Amino acid sequence: MLATPSLPEPVLELRDLLNTYLEPEKVAVILRAFEVGALAHEGQTRKTGEPYILHPVAVARILANMRMDNHSVAAAILHDTLEDTPLTKENIEAQFGPEIAELVDGVTKLDKMRFRTRHEADAESFRKLMLAMSRDLRVIFIKLADRLHNMRTLGSMSHQSRRRIARETLDIYAPIADRLGMNSIKSELEDLGFENLFPWRHRTIAEHISTTTGNRREVIDNIKKALKKKMNEAGVPCQIFGREKTPYSIYKKMLSKDLSFSEVNDVYAFRIVTHSEPHCYMALGAVHALYQPKPGRFKDYIALPKANGYQSLHTVLNSPYGLPVEIQIRTEEMDVMAEKGAAAHWQYKSGEKFSGTAEVRARDWLMQLVDVQRHTGDSMEFLDGAKSDLFPDEIFVFTPKGKIIDLRTNSTALDFAYAIHTDVGNHTRKVLVNKVEVPLSTRLENGQTVEVITHPEVRPSPDWLEFVGTARARTAIRHYIRSLEQADTVRLGLRMLEKAFNARGASSDDIPQERYDRFLNDNHFKRMEDLLEALALGSLLANVVAAKLAPDSQAGSGGKTEALAIAGSEGSVVDFGACCHPVPGDPIMGYVSAGKGIVVHRLNCRNVREFRKHPDRCLNVTWAPIIKHMFQVALRILARNNPGVLANISNSVSEAGSNIEKVEQTDTNPETATLLFTLTVHDRDHMARVMRRLRRNRNVIRVGRINA
């Protein structure tokens, strides 16, 4: 261990703090971590000019103030060594064991990896941080303490860097602290972020707060004395504290409710901390007897804790001073949880870990994030989804068995299904809210009981993405759709290659596996599926690939050249030309467009002549015998310009069993109007029935299909 005189003053202060709650041998491990860290960071300085090692010491001090365990504090001192010094994870593990080494590795950012943009690097770093958190929550406690000290010393950075770091703090780190129930760190991160992002606004509001508080000191003291007297009369043992509003909390309320400063700050706020839950409800009755409560302003977060484990009673009273009084009532344990949240679980207290729901709820949230990232290929998408879940204006709903499910405000019935389990969401047939069937897009409200009815044949639809509100639901739906599209693409590529072989009088079964393997390797494909996808998407041409794989056969050498059957259900790899809107029954041809796949056109489309200049990309296609898909068709209607004519024509379309996708009015005069309708039909026969129905409409003068 280092000799005491050689320790810098901040380390001596840290040691003295650690000695108040840790055994000497555990303090010795932390001091040894300082010795190793100081040697590794030797010669490095921060932008403030001070030795770099004092930053990790300050981070460790923040954790020690939270009475965190010795592994967390030691890892905090070493947290920048892997990123900024030659020290390796193996070095740390050899000297301090695997637990501290894993914590340090989890905090380490990915700056040494190469990314296209800073945003991408930050997103990937965030993904790694979330995964490390899922293994050990202490990783994020160290990271939050690191960010807090960086924010406290941000003044030495450039103006642009201060704004960027402040924005990141408000967007990500303060919400994470809130999600973990760590209110004291959250509040300071928010206020420092606000101060550096909008310095003038912060200074103005802070000056107003200081002036207002000073002017009202006598009123605040009088209310506090009245509350204390009432608690004594009710026999409630307690401590009463004034709750100061931060500049950022006032700024947020001014923005969200469009209020002036005086309207936001005209509130007295107090916190009553007592011994037990029964005492909390006794205190509530006492304060309601002291001052009249405001209707609709009472919230019981003890019976229904917030998603981050926060518990307290909230009420607002009318004071005799003409201004409302906000009261929070909680037990001592709830007060610790409100300030430290999930971190309280690791608080060192006579060898016992603090009990509470924050740590359990934090793990539930992290497991949901892990599930989201498992199905998310893109770090930016994962970061966006996680950020959307970090601002949880929550609602609480119940399963039929009474289990509480917390969701974001504006979550839908389908979000609830995915919150139960991904498989439940994927197969949701209908949802009952309070025993009444509702659409899947229905927005849920607090206190509702929700039941999900599933069916094995139900599958996610792309339409679901338009109304779900949670990252978990969006990610699960996208993952399922992508897997379907990939399977469709591979099947189509296989059909295209097989027909190209047939045209040469060959078959895929005739090709030796070694030739396939050599072709895949030469063209940098890892799997056969990758080659088939490239064929379906037009990146490679099937006839070219067939010629290379079957060089001994020749096109037109007696093989059957059957047309490729199109059913309309091939997914995104088969598109239908918007220029001519082909429908089943139309003579058609296919054109293999690079990156898009097969685009189907009518043979009389004006673009076909241009396509014929590239015969290698032209494809012989036909309609499949059985088609269940709906297809778009474009009609031009000349109608009388009468009131209500559009509704009248729409009714005729509906009676013919067709849906209107789009309507445009291209020309009008006092007598007539030209309307362009895009409708959906099953085939040419259905289209003919729609046109006959329209011709019988007395407002329609002429109707015809738009020919490309």
Place of tokens 């000290």: 149
DSSP letter, residue 597: E
Q: Residue 341, SS3?
A: helix
Residue numbers annotated as active site:
83-84
Name, in order, each residue with C-beta under 8 angstroms of 690's C-beta and a sequence gap of 6 or more.
635, 653, 656, 657, 658, 679, 681
Strand 238-242 and strand 324-331: pairing? Answer: unpaired
Burial readout 376-413 (b: 16 or more C-beta within 10 A, e: otherwise): beebbbbbebbeebbebeebbbeeeeeeebbbbeebbb
Count of residues in the chain: 708
Dihedral sign for Cα atoms in the order 73, 77, 81, 87: negative
Place of tokens 């291209």: 666
* Token code pair at residue 335: 């007060």
Q: How far apart are CA 24 and CA 517, in angstroms?
A: 64
* Token code pair at residue 562: 């059957």
Q: How far apart are CA 146 and CA 128, in angstroms?
A: 16
Check if the beta carbon of residue 621 is closer than 8 Å to that of residue 588: yes
Q: Residue 681, SS3?
A: strand
Residue type, 138: R
Residue type, 78: L
Q: How far apart are CA 267 and CA 407, in angstroms?
A: 30
Q: How far apart are CA 626 and CA 682, in angstroms?
A: 11
Q: How far from 605 is each of 435, 577, 586, CA to CA, in Å?
A: 53, 9, 11
